[in-house]
Amino acid sequence: MKSLLKWVGIPLVVLLIIGLIVLSKVVWPRVDSNMNPVLPHAPYSVSDAAKALHDELWIADLHADNLLWRRNPRKRNAHGHVDLPRLREGGVEFQIFSTVTKSPKGLNFDGNDADAPDDITRLAQAQLWPLRTWDSIYERAAYQAQRLQKLEKKGEVHIVRTRADMEKTDRLLGLLLTEGSHPLQGDLEKIHRLYNEGYRAMGLQHFFDNELGGSLHGRSQAGLTGFGRAAVKEMREKGIIIDVAHSSAQVVRDVLALTPDPIFISHGGTIAHCPRTKNRNLPDDILKQIAARKGIIGIGYFSGVICDISPDGIAAAIVDAVKLLGPDAVALGSDYDGTVTVSLDTSELAAITDALLRKGMNEATIRKVMGENARRFFKENLPEE
């Protein structure tokens, strides 16, 4: 019997190993590529003046979901939008790494039920994340943070935790952001646990209503719940900055009334520029309130938030946002690797600089929107120590 098990077991183990290799090397790169495509294009023409300016810029991106994917971030990948080599090629100094922990099938901007099937559970299982992440939303946030911590230990990234960290220059600065506060699972103590994992920014909602309040894409369109108000106060006491990218309009109004502190939108756009985005972008009057509070709005590169996703279209969305909100309130917020289609990956950001110059934006404003506004915002709002 033992002999039989030995000969049956060995082939099964071999088949399992082969299956895992195929899954890792063939299946997941294909799935990742299909879900995070870059439109085919010839190399973008970038003027000498734009190249020279771009090389001088301090560039920041307020939103990328790279940690969600089973992809080696130290390697230049042929699929997806972000990895460390391409960030360096694009001149990025500061990248916010958002962590997606629960997401409904279909990613419907028009409305999602709170109990809609969760794609991230299946994604965690299929990518062979640790078992603890399969049934715990909190553990998914912790696991993704720990992926970035490993890069920090290897000297690739410096995780931003304090204002002083924004002054580091020896490697890429990375800041952790939860996309929605689902990882709290109704427990305020988890704010402290996430803080200890390195999180310094938290979104309140994602694609559906949660314990904190209504989503822009949820059913209720409600404001902050009692738990949501308590969570916002706790976050601010810890020095965690609030992102309202997917929150309902009433949630944002409630946050603005609850705290005098600046808040931000990590990835979005303006309805004034692209009226068809009213089911994804917050009303322009709310954006003006955020800007007046010295907050910032990251302009995304995908069709849900801007009308034209070409480099010229991204530049046009930035120009109109500056007209609406002022030059100090606008930043980049790509939503790279967020299951979106884009026209360029992070290595090609000079094409946006070129487009902004061609649209007549002055160099001082370009420096602000490409990164200086983000640097100022986080230096002013992160914990001092």
Token representation of residue 273: 């520029």
SS3 of the chain: helix, strand, coil, percent, to 5: 45, 15, 40
Give the pLDDT confidence of 346-355 residue by residue, as tens digits: 999 999 999 9
Q: pLDDT-based confidence at 9, cuts 50/70/90?
A: low
Task: Find, among 202, 204, 231, the residue nearest to 215 by Cα.
Answer: 204
Radius of gyration of the chain (CA): 21
d(CA 234, CA 191): 8
Q: What percent of the chain has pLDDT over 90?
A: 83
| Residue 5 pLDDT exceeds 50 | no
> 3-class DSSP state for residue 296?
strand
156, 171 in Cβ contact below 8 A?
Answer: yes
Domain boundaries, the chain: 1-34, 48-381
Please tell me the predicted confidence (pLDDT) of residue 204: 98
Give the pLDDT confidence of 194-220 residue by residue, as tens digits: 999 999 999 999 999 999 999 999 899
The answer to whether the Cα torsion of 289, 373, 87, 54 is positive or negative is positive
| Residue 253 pLDDT exceeds 70 | yes
Mean pLDDT of 47-54: 98
Please tell me the predicted confidence (pLDDT) of residue 110: 76
d(CA 265, CA 333): 8
Indicate the range of 83-87, 109-113, 120-124, 222-226 predicted with least confidence. 109-113
The answer to whether the Cα torsion of 271, 277, 281, 286 is positive or negative is positive
Mean pLDDT of 152-176: 97
367, 60 in Cβ contact below 8 A?
Answer: no
Output the DSSP codes for 63-75: EE-GGGSSS-TTS
Q: What percent of the chain has pLDDT over 70?
A: 92
pLDDT, the chain, mean: 93
Give the pLDDT confidence of 168-178 residue by residue, as tens digits: 999 999 999 99
Output the DSSP codes for 358-372: HTT--HHHHHIIIII
Please tell me the predicted confidence (pLDDT) of residue 33: 79
User: Hey, what amino acid is at 148?
Assistant: L
293, 252 in Cβ contact below 8 A?
Answer: no
Only one residue has tokens 């209720």, namely 220
Higher-confidence residue of 5 and 270: namely 270
Q: pLDDT-based confidence at 6, cuts 50/70/90?
A: low
Task: Find, among 259, 281, 255, 260, the residue nearest to 270 by Cα.
Answer: 281
Please tell me the predicted confidence (pLDDT) of residue 190: 98
| CA dihedral angle for residue 182, residue 188, residue 194, residue 200, rounded to 10 degrees | 90
CATH of 48-381, one of 3.90.190.10, 3.40.30.10, 2.60.120.10, 3.20.20.140: 3.20.20.140
| Residue 28 pLDDT exceeds 70 | no
Q: pLDDT-based confidence at 4, cuts 50/70/90?
A: very low
Cα 312 to its chain centre, rounded Å, is 22
Give the pLDDT confidence of 286-296 residue by residue, as tens digits: 999 999 999 99
DSSP 26: I
The full 3-state SS of 155-176, as one line of letters, equals: CCEEECCCHHHHHCCCCEEEEE
